Amino acid sequence: MKALKYVAITLLAAIGLLVLAILLSVTIFKDELANYLSRSNQTQIQTYYIADIPVEPENFAEDFESIHHQVVENCSLYKQKGYDIDSIYTTYANRIGSSARSKTDYGMMLCEYFAALRIGHAGVHFNFYSAEYHPTIVEDRVFITNPSEHLIDCGFRNNDEIITINNTPTQQYVKGRLKYTSASTDEYRLIRTQSGIFASQTDSTITCGIRRGDDVLTLRLPLNCSPQEPQPQAHYKIFNDSIGYICIESMMYDVVEEFARSYEQVRHLPYLIIDIRHNGGGNSNNGRLIAEYLVRNPQKHCVGGDITPQPNAYEGKLFLLTSNYTFSAAESFALDLKESGNATLVGEPTAGDTGCLPKNFVSKYGIAFRIPTREPSLSPKGFPMEGVGIEPHYQIEQTVNDLFDNRDTAIEYILNELC
């Protein structure tokens, strides 16, 4: 009996030590664990150009049915949207064999189907022909700013306005492409379509009409650029010897380490501007880790988990620049900072979709797509995590005259407030 009691006590002690070790490991390696879980949520996929998708016309209906079934079973957000998802399916299924006969027809129909769900993180994965450049949108007009080498080689210059695409007025061209663009808000659908005019699922070359001063020119633009190597994700500058500025380009790659290096150069200053206007997201855990340098008190991360301030967390006055293009993990970062009470948001409302745990799926015949899988939720202070853009405290927009005068109106607003 004593031997059994001894064995039982020893076993319980061993179990206790094992549980303690697991808890300590989770605590110590929580950041690595979060990154691992984020990566493991993604099914490995193969992508195709739209004309080369691995499904033949006689199998379109079966393939589309398999896609819709997975959307209904796994997509977390459509029930709150107020539409009949089966009715949407029927609308597009009826096109198969009529307007959707070729692989390109079917692929573009799938883009429409996912766009009709009105969810920014829902979409089909196709390869794009691309110039690997996003134009600047001001007052619904499209301009070239800081053109890439490829655009310069094709004849484009700074401040050129794109007035036609393939002989169609730019605004009309954009309007025709809106139906293919996934977005959770109308504002983001428009800006995402406008900024994507130099990429196409179907065309490897486009013809652009441009206005340059009083001249109107026609330029041919091959969409044949390979994806760029990752560029620095964070960089800093200092205004007036007292105002730090860090631009965070994305929430991917080594952004946390790059931010930390920039932060060390400006954290002693009384004012700090964080710019995420061109940040389309990435890994929300990276946003959480960066937020730990910028909040003063512990708080819940709006996506899940905790934000614990760094020992050297910023103590000065903090500003955050946002835009309609601020999306996904950049939005959850913006929401955390706004709810911390530390940051004053300046610029434009964000895109309206923090992510909701998007995962990749594959149709019966091998077409990859993604949909959000986390149930609709609210932030710790009750803000919807999808469907509504985060409003800045001060809405500041650039004008065309500002663009031509090389004025950044949002930064100027902050500098004027502080001077």
User: Collapsing DSSP states into helix, strand and coil, what is residue 21?
Assistant: helix
Neighbours of 196 (CB within 10 A): 17
Mean pLDDT of 402-412: 97
| Residue 35: pLDDT band with limits 50, 70, 90 | very low
Contact in structure between 96 and 64 (CB atoms under 8 Å): yes
Please tell me the distance from the alpha carbon of residue 369 to that of residue 360, in angstroms, as a whole number: 6
User: What are the structure tokens assigned to 83, written together?
Assistant: 């539409």
Contact in structure between 237 and 272 (CB atoms under 8 Å): no
pTM of the model: 0.89
How does pLDDT run across 341-387, given as a tens digit for each residue?
999 999 999 999 999 999 999 999 999 999 999 999 999 999 999 99
How does pLDDT run across 257-288, given as a tens digit for each residue?
999 999 999 999 999 999 999 999 999 999 99
How does pLDDT run across 118-150, given as a tens digit for each residue?
999 999 999 999 999 999 999 999 999 999 999
How does pLDDT run across 176-225, given as a tens digit for each residue?
999 999 999 999 999 999 999 999 999 999 999 999 999 999 999 999 99
Local structure of residue 362 (DSSP, 8 states): E
Closest-CA residue to 321 (of 339, 338, 303, 307): 338
Please tell me the distance from the alpha carbon of residue 418 to that of residue 271, in angstroms, as a whole number: 9
